[in-house]
Amino acid sequence: MSTQNAQPKYFNLHTSGIGYLSDIREIKPKKGDAFWACRIAALTGSSDSPEYRFFDMNVSGEETVNLIKRCQEAVEAKKKVLVSFVMSDLWYDTFTYSKDSEYHKKGDTGVSIKGRLYRINFIKVDGELKYQAKRQDEQGND
């Protein structure tokens, strides 16, 4: 008699886009393993007058972490780092502003949209292509 292990099934919500990379950082929690995070200001709407949607993302996967780390110096130098990305597992987090700013008062509630960044398709720094991923249908054909 054979026993079959049932593989768990998951529903995946993937979001892809193009946006500007910022705030690359390593997070070292008191408990648990360190991880990398970043923010992306994703472009939406007309290319003549785009709007932005801001995502705060945990970076997943060795290749994606390495690509994001390669961009850190350019981001810190205030260069425009444009990425094509795929993220998953969107969720939101509420927080309280700790000080006044141009847009919010201390004590106001804010919302942060979060996700897991797991793929970078291209990286451009100040308009120059620095990285281009292989198309997924080409990846096993080396």
DSSP H/E element including 42? strand 35-44
Residue 1: pLDDT band (50, 70, 90) is: low
114 domain residue, yes or no: yes
Q: Are 129 and 109 in contact (CB under 8 A)?
A: no
142 domain residue, yes or no: no
| Higher pLDDT, residue 140 or 16 | 16
First to last CA, the chain: 41
Using DSSP's 3-state secondary structure scheme, residue 137 falls into: helix
CATH number reported for the structural domain that contains residue 104 in this entry: 2.40.50.140
pLDDT in tens, 77-131: 999 999 999 999 999 999 999 999 888 899 999 899 999 999 999 999 999 999 9
Q: What is the pLDDT of residue 23?
A: 96
C-alpha count within 13 angstroms, C-beta hemisphere, residue 43: 14
4 domain residue, yes or no: no
Instruction: Inform me whether the pLDDT recorded for 141 exceeds 70.
Output: no
Domain count, the chain: 1
Q: What is the pLDDT of residue 142?
A: 47
134 domain residue, yes or no: no
pLDDT in tens, 8-43: 888 888 999 999 999 999 999 999 999 999 999 999
Residue 135: pLDDT band (50, 70, 90) is: confident
Domain that holds residue 50: 13-127
